[in-house]
Amino acid sequence: MAEQTKPALPSFSTIHSQTGEDPIDLRKRPRLKESIIQGFLFFSGALSIFTTIGIVFFLSEEAIQFFRSPEVSLLEFLTSTKWQPHLGEFGILPLLNATLVTSFVAMLVAIPLGMCVAIYLSEYASPKTRGTIKPILEVIAGIPTVVLGFFALNFMTPLLRGVFGNDVVSIYNMAAGGLVMGILILPLISSMVEDALSAVPRALREGAYGLGATRLEVATQIVVPAAISGISAAIILGMSRAVGEAMIVAIAVGAGPNLTWNPFEPAETMTGHIVRISGGDLSYNSIDYNSLFAIALMLFAMTLVLNLISQQIIRRFREVYE
């Protein structure tokens, strides 16, 4: 039995040719304004990328000149415990140690306070209260760091000496700089954590309330675990901000390398050393001058590692809701 074939359906152009109408052009029409905006956005992104590449290239070029010097070795730079460029000793451990101690003290202040502020604004505060507190936090973030440096030296240090004693706390110390630096980082962490908490769907909260959970239980056992990726990213970015802070530590922490874990003793961070030495009379292309770029490259590597860890945490713990 012969197989019957279905008649082919007329095409779109055939129908219009039979009706005598011109076919509708469904092709994308060029829009000049959108093309200009798209090109500007692409240019902005490319410019930021090339700027970062240029900074890394410049730092690497100057740092390579430092490590090419016969007086310096990479092993000594990473493992030696003395930083005295005028004596030919280039061990970054004292500067690195002070940077880590001050950053640790800062995070001890910023993480608990930032979390508490973020949870309060996200779960407890009324819109009017939230609109009052957030601008105050933004004002703290906008205070010049040089002002906070003198605040640490003239207020926080006398306060610590009054509590622990003048024999325990030095005039210049890492604790005072770290505490004030934590206040500086507080708005950054609280704002990012609040954004992460606010991104948790309302349905999770309502489901927990429906099961009889209290507001505190919902905040700590439902919302915070669901936003752990954003919270972790906020904490790590706050650490990056602490590591890169310069003026507070340059004014309040100290002006001499000191390998110690005691936060009440003076020391000098990597950024503080760069600020102090770059303001002196350094001849261009000298070993002291090039050592600043080696320190800056180390700072860049530390912040890069922290940002990479942040990205991995976000990818690992991110929750996707429909």
pLDDT tens over the chain, length 322 residues: 444 555 555 554 554 555 555 566 666 676 778 888 888 999 999 998 999 898 888 888 888 888 888 888 888 888 888 888 777 788 889 999 999 999 999 999 999 999 999 999 888 888 888 888 888 888 888 888 899 999 999 999 999 999 998 899 999 999 999 999 999 999 989 988 988 888 888 888 888 888 888 888 888 888 888 888 888 888 988 898 888 888 899 899 988 888 889 999 999 999 988 888 876 666 677 787 888 888 988 888 888 888 888 788 777 766 655 5
Report the b/e string of 79-113 with b at 16+ CB within 10 A.
Answer: ebeebebeeeebbbbbbbbbbbbbbbbbbebbbeb
Q: What pLDDT, on the 0 to 100 scale, is given for residue 105?
A: 94
Give helix 270-278 / helix 93-119 axis angle, nearest 10°.
120
- In the chain the beta strands, taken as DSSP E runs, fall at 83-84, 89-90
Report the distance separating Cα 232 and Cα 80, nearest Å: 33
263: Cβ contacts below 8 Å, ≥ 6 apart? 101, 102, 105, 173, 174, 175, 178
Of 254, 246, 192, 232, nearest to 312 (Cα)?
A: 232
**Largest Cα span, the chain:** 110
DSSP labels, 27-55: SPPP-HHHHHHHHHHHHHHHHHHHHHHHH
Using the 8-state DSSP alphabet, how is residue 8 labeled? Answer: P
Residue type, 189: I
In three-state secondary structure terms, 89 is: strand
Domain locations in the chain as residue ranges: 77-317
Say which CATH topology domain 77-317 has.
MetI-like fold (1.10.3720)
For residue 122, CA distances in Å to 19, 21, 81, 117, 131 come to: 62, 60, 46, 9, 12
Report the distance separating Cα 304 and Cα 285, nearest Å: 26
Exposed/middle/buried for 53, CB within 10 Å: 0-12, 13-18, 19+?
A: exposed
**H/E segment holding residue 226:** helix 224-226
CA atoms within 13 A on the CB side of 213: 17
Q: What pLDDT, on the 0 to 100 scale, is given for residue 8?
A: 54
Q: What angle do CA 46, 304, 143 make, to 5 degrees?
A: 85
**H/E segment holding residue 110:** helix 93-119
Report the distance separating Cα 66 and Cα 63, nearest Å: 5
